[in-house]
Structure 1
Amino acid sequence: MENQDSDSRLDCCSSFISNISVQVVSAPGKLPGRRPPRKPISRAKPKKQLNKKAPFWNVQNKIILFTVFLFILAVTAWTLLWLYIRETESRDAFYFAGMFRITNIEFLPEYRQKESREFLSVARTVQQVINLVYTTSAFSRFYRQSVVADVSSNNKGGLLVHFWLVFVMPHAKGHVFCEDCVAAILKDSIQTSVVNRTSVGKLQGLAVDMDSVVLNAGLRSDYSSTIGSDKGCSRDFYADHLSLRYPLEVSTTSGRLTCHFKLVATAGHLIRFSVESVQIEADNCVTDSLTIYDSLLPIRSTVLYRICEPARTLKSFVSTNNLMLVTFKSPQAWRLSGIRAYFEVIPEQKCENTVLVKEITGFEGKISSPYYPSYYPPKCKCTWKFQSPLSTLGIALKFHNYSITKKSVRGCDHGWWEINEHMYCGSYMDHQTIFRVPSSLVHIQLQCSSRLSDKPLLVEYGSYNISQPCPVGSFRCSSGFCVPLAQRCDGVNDCFDESDELFCGTLQPACNASSFRRHSALTCDGFPDCEDGRDERDCTRGIPCNNRTFKCGNDVCIRKQNAKCDGNVDCPDGSDEEGCSCSSSSPTLHRIIGGTDTREGGWPWQVSLHFVGSAYCGASVISREWLLSAAHCFHGSRLSDPTPWTAHLGMYVQGSAKFVSPVRRIVVHEYYNSQTFDYDIALLQLRVAWPEALKQLIQPICIPPAGQKVHSGEKCWVTGWGRRHEADNKGSPVLQQAEVELIDQTLCVSTYGIITSRMLCAGVMSGKKDACRGDSGGPLSCRRKSDGKWILTGIVSWGHGCGRPNFPGVYTRVSNFVPWIHKYVPSLL
């Protein structure tokens, strides 16, 4: 109890006891009968005792410190991650190029100077208005800024403002952006004037023409080049002299090339841009291109024309306003050796005229599209009024490389025509057509395409006798041509549009001297093509039978030992080709680019596809009514319509097909990618199946087994009527063939980089043998060693140029699409 009391006291009055303790300790000796005195208690001593009892680095404190450390680490990591995400989002920028016309501000010359006070003032006002529009929109948290690139005059008065919009968002959320959505925000902010019933509305005090508002997604490189942060190969031109030509040339040898040239003329005039020569890589506009815009920014909806292949003939293009943008792009400038061009200022033209034809039959004058021979601009309109002196004389129009047909519910890609209140669509072809209007008074209006510039049109006009459009003894083609009646249903397409051979049943060649010269392969072929059999008279095909000959069904022996199922009818009764499921036809030893003429009938599955009467692509016969071709041949609303397509089978020389059928149906693979040409395959169904009577000239090629393995170095053949040289302007009239070899897939990938498992390469690495433009969709035929049958291993798809060293042709790998083919053509199973 005494000790407990003393402890309590010590706790309560430590300072007092401390003083006492010090005094006691200072006395010498020990007191009798007493315990040894406690050690003096000082203020420093208890701390030592506490350290001994609970050291700082005990387990509890370590846990606390470790928890605090983890918390600080987590906060730091979260902060760094947040900063990284913010930094990543800043790189995912979306750019939109746009323009609109302000009607209540007049143009000043100072606006051409980007550093002038006048330009900066207008640009600041426009930017403030656009900023207000988008910071109060649904995209406000992604919107960053607007930049005015140009302020220019225009032919409608006021100011034409070109600007950029910049949005920033995570890449994963980029799908929420759409051009129409971004443009709709701007258009919805313009209050259209109802009182004046005009398209001019108010946008925060700016009078904006609604019809002039255009907005498209753009590229970062274009944004950098046009706003001045990365000018590079870019220049601004201002022209005001009508009689001068302003040269524009580009020549480079290394590095990446991106050029922007802004061309501006005085208000009230137009710009004609003429290209003399372009040496640019042909690649379907994926990388290299020369593009002409009807604006000062690369706005896709204002494209006038795009050139994506070498050109050596003069082409000129006209703007719809007093400004134009020309861009040159190439990822490797060494591919682009030079561009020569010039531009000039021209006045606007009115395409309107009244024509009085003479009292004579025949063609006497010409009319043409606006600004002929330049490509005519979009949205143009022409009006002609023709009048003949007599009511018995109608108006005849001879179109050069052009034709018109009655307009359907679909739009017209190459202009629409209104002739005496009847609507027609125009289309281009490689021959002349004649259109006759049975009226002495004809009103014609041409409405140009609303999308791109189009080829110049030249039309001859004259009068004709309405009661006798064609001379006696002649046949009138649907295009207006007159041909001798004897040429109707003779197996030869004399009308160009093939109307003389329609509804003729099986096409048979005319049995006369000229026809035999044209179709010499039909004589002594074992099939009576002429009714009187004269093509098979005096044919000495029978020889003694032995082990070196083949015995036909009528006991006639022929010299060929392996005639069975070789694709050629050698027996007079055709027994050597009976029971053959698909062709075993063999080409001749004569051997497209680096190829030679084939022998007629050597490739009986080869098909030529004609679009509006002109050869366009190739295909392969796989059954009585189905063909196999490439999807890219039918890419686009116009090309995907089967109506203008005809299939020419059993053809050797263009225009001499043994069987022609309209196309009933086109089935393009649902996964076809027009940018990479992946899944480049399509099926075509014929409206009329080819007759069994022509099986000696038309035979299907075998479809490979699913997943067929091919080996590099294997020899195959590519055939078609395409160009024989990369610089050719037109294809070959005679079917060509070239032997190529399959290229290792790894080597193919290293060459192109974008080769998928649905593609294969074939050619000659040294070049000089390849498919080319016009061969697309045609077959890559390989002969199977086991049974000698020909297999459709590939379909001509794409390539880097034609016959270039180290750049073989790329083909669709048919074996990867066997189930897809069987889905539509189950008869092949």
Structure 2
Amino acid sequence: MGTKQEETEQTSEDKDAPQQDSASVADVSVEVATVDHTLRMLRRMYRKSRRKPKGLKRLLAYVLNIPHITVIVTAVVFVLVVIIWSLLWVFIIRRESYSGAYFAGMFRVANVEFLPEYRQAESHEFVSIATKIQHVVSSVYKTSSVARLYKQAVISDLSNNDQGGVLVHFWMVFVIPRVKSAVMSEEFVGAILKNSVLTSLQNRSSVGYLLGLPVDIDSILINVVQRSDYTSNTEDSQCVDKLYANLPGVSVPLNVFSSWGGVSCHVKLTSAPGSLIRLVVSSFLIEPTDCVDDALVVYDALLPMRGRILHSLCEPVSSSISIVSTSNVMLLSFRMSDNKSFKGYFEAIAEEKCVSEVETQPEGQIYSPFYPSMLPPECACTWKFKTPNPGLGVALHFQNYVLKPKDMKGCNNGWWRVNEVIFCGIYVGYHTVFRIAHHSPAVEFRCSSPNSVQPFQASYSSYNISHPCPESYFLCTTGLCVERSRLCDGLDDCQDESDEMLCSRPTMNCGSSSHPLFVCNGEVDCSHGEDEINCTQETTCSEIRYQCRSGSCILKKNAKCDDVPDCKDHSDEADCDCGHPTPVNKGGSSTGLHRIVGGVNSVEGEWPWQVSLHFDGSLYCGASVLSSNWLISAAHCFSKDRLSDPRYWRAHLGMLMQGSAKHVAEIQRIVVHEYYNAYTFDYDIALLHLKKAWPASLSPLVQPVCLPPSSHTITDSHRCIVTGWGYRSEDDKVLPTVLQKAQVSITSQTECQRIYGLISPRMLCAGVPSGERDACRGDSGGPLSCQAPGGSRWFLIGIVSWGSGCGRPNLPGVYTRVTKFTSWIYSHIS
């Protein structure tokens, strides 16, 4: 290559200039072409020298090409999105959008003869008629406005009663979008069935034809049930048993043990047509859990229908009880955990024909139907009394029952007709006398409670119509006769305070005959203090005398937890770790702009017994701490079906501001007073048993309030505070965040009765005449705490119950009087 370069240089020197220019250009162009061609040749040679990829390596090389990677990643992402969305739809979205709705129902098919084989679900006879009825029910709903939601109907049981025909128990299942769940109520589902019957009713007959099936329209009943009720009652369930009592008076034993497992188990009882069933529970060992975990629920049907509940047992049975059905079927639904058991029996009994002629000489007893069994929802009894002469009437003495004239409301605990005048029976906690000013009255009684209620008995006697009470005696509105000398003595001798009403304030006599209200009440009323001398002296016992644990009573009324041992056994100072708050800081205790009907902000630890009760996540009521396991509140907070379920409630303890609770407790059991009256709010008290005790480390921010004895007296010098997170005015729409407190004064019982009229001895009034300080909505169940002058402990005197509006002038709030329930409270929490 070097030689060629030398030859080129020598040739160029021998030529003239123009020739040199032309040759030079030609040479350059050839040289460039040669290089480009060389490069192409080298590239081809290099490709030939490399081994081409084959198989998987060739595919990999193709895939790893950048444009291909983008396409593949996009496809993979798309597939993943489709898969995830499908899973969400199947397991979450679809499940949330649609839910099963389960209904239990019953109706009577008339003009169809009942066959014994119908009791066996596997028999050919049962399958034949059940298939027909199931087809009819399905046809009704498949041609209705809810046809797309209807899934199936299942005939569960066939039974007979004294009305003839066949009583059908059945299930229905719907699949409902959540947006339509409120539409599918039991009333709506039942109306579809009834409308189908109504279209064929003629001549005012109660039997119509449901697609050719004669159905008694009055017997149709539809109830919503839980899915667990449906699944645990089907024929393939391992926890359903059927028993039959054919002969009246023959006991069929019932023994159930927790070896069945901690699930719902059911026993279906049937007796001969025309008879009733009496269930006797002799022993029931369970944990008291408010019918959530351990329970026995007795139904007046063969399916668990809410409208047919006879009775619920939610705590151990200490003495034998018996329950009577209204027909010849009964269902026992058990929920029992380990080491629990039930013992008892059932029998067929005849329906009582309770009609009797009663002579009032000598005295005697009348009893409720089926006594001592509980009263069923349907029963009747008639007594025809006769006294020796027209001047004598009939007096009925009840232990825990009172008859009052019927008003616009229905009678829930017994319907009475006395000489064509209607009365309602009400269960109370005291004795009453009902007088009939006629020498030969007819008294008719009918059961009217939706469930079974406790029996009653009454002694009867004749009385002088013109002089019901002996001379020197006073006639109470309860019918009792008390000595006139006991009027206005501070004791509720009449059981309804009618002997203490309209009493002027007693004059203070500082001699030996001082009025009982002034003696040893903790305040010096006499100039020399003789009314507060010898207060530890033992005296006769009464509700205004403090009773020591030994059983002896002393004159001192407020002896409990006053830091002075008064009883010889010092029992008055026992269990006094209560009612002694230690506020974290008192700087803002008397200031604040957030008023609740005249209230001001509290400070941390000022009311450590105050509890905020939340239902389903929202503030609903208040309560007070009684012990590490028990709270106390108002019965009306839990008066409805769902409100009575403890699983929806949470107790927020040690809280000043909403959302800052030191401890949130679950509720295991709600104990509403057995005599609570939802119309009058009498006996408006309830106890709440916590699932777990609150930690002792939370003290002093969580602490019990002191429970007053029945003798505890409140005077004008006591300081009484109502607390809560309720509304700050009657028209307020926003609840306060900080716990509010307001000081109120106790109103005399006479004045309270004058204002409201419907005031029982178990109520008290508190407020201020201007109405500027009062409890309001949201404070219900919360405490009215009172402190003696110079004292350190606070006692729970009242529970926020009811009132006329909030903060209205001359309309004080009405509270449950806690001193009337001390023994009842201790009977549950001790």
Counterpart in 1 of 2:312?
306
1:333 aligns with 2:331: no
Change (3 A) 1:659 1:646: farther
Maintained 8 Å contact 2:369/2:375: yes
Pairs within 5 Å for 1:275-354: 275-330=281-336, 332-334=337-339, 336=340, 338-354=341-357
Whether the 8 Å contact between 1:778 and 1:795 is mirrored in structure 2 is yes
Per the alignment, in what secondary structure is the counterpart of residue 151 of structure 1?
strand
Secondary structure at the aligned position of 1:132 is classed as helix
Provide the secondary structure at the position in 1 that maps to 2:258. coil
Distance in structure 1 (CA, Å) of the matches to 2:506 and 2:196: 64
User: Residues of 2 paired with 1:378 and 1:151: CA distance?
Assistant: 22
How far apart, in 1, do the equivalents of 2:354 and 2:200 lie? Answer: 32
Contact 2:248 2:349 survives alignment (8 Å): yes
Matches within 5 A, 1:349-360: 349-358=352-361
The verdict on how the C-alpha distance between 1:602 and 1:256 changes in structure 2, with shifts beyond 3 A counting, is closer
Correspondent of 1:238 among 225, 244, 254: 244
**Residues 139/310 of structure 1: CA separation in 2 closer, same or farther (3 Å cut):** same
How many angstroms does 1:366 deviate by? 1.8
Question: Structure 2 residue aligned with 1:127, among 134, 145, 149?
Answer: 134
Partners of 2:525 and 2:787 lie apart in 1 by 28
The 10-residue stretch of structure 1 (412-421 or 372-381) with the greater mean CA deviation from structure 2: 412-421
- Is 2:270 the counterpart of 1:264? yes
Letter in 1 for 2:417: E
Counterpart of 1:397 in structure 2 is 396
Partner Cα distance (1:319, 1:426) in 2: 21
1:449–1:138 Cα change, 3 Å: same
Aligned residue number for residue 604 of structure 2: none
Residues 1:510 and 1:404: Cα distance change in structure 2 (over 3 Å) = farther
CA shift for structure 1 position 122:
1.1
* Structure 1 residue 271, shift from structure 2 partner: 0.4
Partner of 1:201: 208
Report the TM-score when normalising by structure 1.
0.60
Query: Which residue identity does 2:175 align to in structure 1?
Result: V
Aligned equivalent of 2:434: 435
Q: Deviations over 1:88-139 (max 9, x none)?
A: 3698322111111101211101111111111011111111111112222232
Q: Is the 8 A contact 1:99 1:215 kept in 2?
A: yes
Structure 2 CA distance, aligned partners of 1:374 and 1:504? 43
The residue aligned with 2:169 is 162
Deviations, residues 426-462 of structure 1 (Å, cap 9, x unaligned):
1223333111111123122222124011111112222
Change (3 A) 1:457 1:507: farther
CA pair 463-537 structure 1, distance change in 2 beyond 3 A: closer
Tell me the CA shift for residue 603 of structure 1.
9.8
Identify the residue that residue 715 of structure 1 maps to in structure 2.
none
Retained in 2: the 8 A contact 1:524–1:535?
no
Q: Which residue of 2 aligns with 1:388?
A: 387
Cα deviation 1:751-772 (Å, max 9, x = unaligned): xxxxxxx99xxxxxxxxxxxxx
Counterparts of 1:314 and 1:90, CA distance in 2: 48
Alignment of 1:651-800 (within 5 A): 654=710, 688-689=747-748
1:75-224, aligned counterparts within 5 Å?
A: 83-84=90-91, 88=95, 92-171=99-178, 173-191=180-198, 194-224=201-231
Matched with 2:28 is none
Q: Give 2:500's aligned residue.
A: 501
CA distance in 2, matches of 1:168, 1:378: 34
Q: Is the 8 A contact 2:746 2:765 kept in 1?
A: no
Structure 2: segments with no counterpart, 5+ residues: 1-60, 536-555, 581-606, 608-621, 625-630, 641-675, 686-705, 717-721, 728-737, 752-763, 768-777, 801-805, 814-830
* Structure 1 Cα separation of the partners of residues 78 and 576 of structure 2: 83
What amino acid maps onto 1:340 in structure 2?
Answer: K
Aligned partner letter, 2:325 = S
Deviation for aligned residue 1:410: 2.4
Shift of 1:190: 1.4
State the Cα deviation string for residues 650-689 of structure 1 (Å, max 9, x = none).
Answer: 99654786789xxxx999979xxxxxxxx99999999944
User: Aligned partner of 2:265: which letter?
Assistant: C
Using the aligned pairs only, state the percent identity.
37
Distance in structure 2 (CA, Å) of the matches to 1:681 and 1:367: 53
Match in the other structure for 2:258? 252
Please state whether the residue corresponding to 1:189 is helix, strand or coil.
helix
Indicate the residue corresponding to 1:639 in structure 2.
Answer: 677
Return closer, same or farther for 1:588/1:219 CA change in 2, 3 Å cut-off.
farther
- Number of the residue aligned with 1:373: 372
1:568-593: CA deviation from partner (whole Å, max 9, x where unpaired): 999xxxxxxxxxxxxx99544699xx
Shift of 1:782: 11
Does the 8 A contact of 1:144 with 1:167 survive in 2? yes
Separation in 2 of the partners of 1:422 and 1:683?
47
Q: Which residue of 1 is the match for residue 6 of structure 2?
A: none
1:536 alignment partner, one of 512, 522, 530: 530
One-letter code aligned to 1:487: R
Distance 1:116 1:538, change over 3 A: closer
Partner letter of residue 358 of structure 2? V
Letter in 1 for 2:399: H
Provide the rounded CA distance (Å) in 1 between the counterparts of 2:191 and 2:384.
42
Q: In 1, Cα distance between the equivalents of 2:129 and 2:723?
A: 54
Instruction: Output the amino acid matched with 1:231.
Output: Q
CA distance in 1, matches of 2:739, 2:132: 50
Aligned length: 585
Decide whether aligned partners of structure 1 residues 322 and 524 sit closer, same or farther in structure 2, where only a CA change above 3 A counts: closer
Q: 1:527 and 2:525 equivalent?
A: yes
Amino acid at match of 2:234: I
Q: 1:569 to 1:209 in 2, by over 3 A?
A: closer
Contact 1:489 1:500 in 2 (8 A): yes
Where do residues 502-581 of structure 1 align in structure 2 (5 Å cutoff)? 502-506=501-505, 522=520, 525-528=523-526, 536=530
Deviation at 1:487, TM superposition (A): 0.7
Match of 2:459, SS state, is strand
Q: How many Å separate the matches in 2 of 1:684 and 1:121?
A: 73
For the 8 Å contact 1:630–1:682, the answer to whether it is kept is: no
The Cα shift of 1:82 comes to 5.1
Deviation at 1:189, TM superposition (A): 1.8
Secondary structure at 1:144's aligned position in 2?
A: strand
Change (3 A) 1:400 1:781: closer
Distance 1:631 1:148 in 2: 43
Provide the rounded CA distance (Å) in 2 between the counterparts of 1:646 and 1:59.
79
CA pair 782-501 structure 1, distance change in 2 beyond 3 A: closer
Cα deviation digits, residues 532-562 of structure 1 (max 9, x gap) = x998279599xxxxxxxxxxxxxxxxxxxxx
TM-score where L is the length of structure 2: 0.60
C-alpha distance 667-469 of structure 1, shift in aligned 2 (>3 A)? farther
Cα 1:95/1:668, change in 2 over 3 Å: farther
Once residues 372 and 398 of structure 1 are traced to their aligned partners in structure 2, the CA distance between those partners, rounded to angstroms, is 17
Q: Kindly provide the CA deviation profile for residues 475-523 of structure 1, in whole angstroms up to 9, marking residues without a partner as x.
A: 111111111111111111112222211221447899998999x889628
| Structure 1: runs of 5+ lacking an equivalent | 1-54, 542-567, 571-583, 607-617, 621-627, 671-678, 693-697, 702-757, 760-775, 798-819
Contact residue 524 and residue 537 of structure 1 kept, 8 A: no
CA distance in 2, matches of 1:101, 1:655: 58
Separation in 1, partners of 2:105, 2:267: 17
* Partner AA of 2:134 in structure 1: Q
Q: Give the Cα–Cα distance (whole angstroms) in 1 for the partners of residues 741 and 382 of structure 2.
A: 41
- Residue in 1 that maps onto 2:826: none
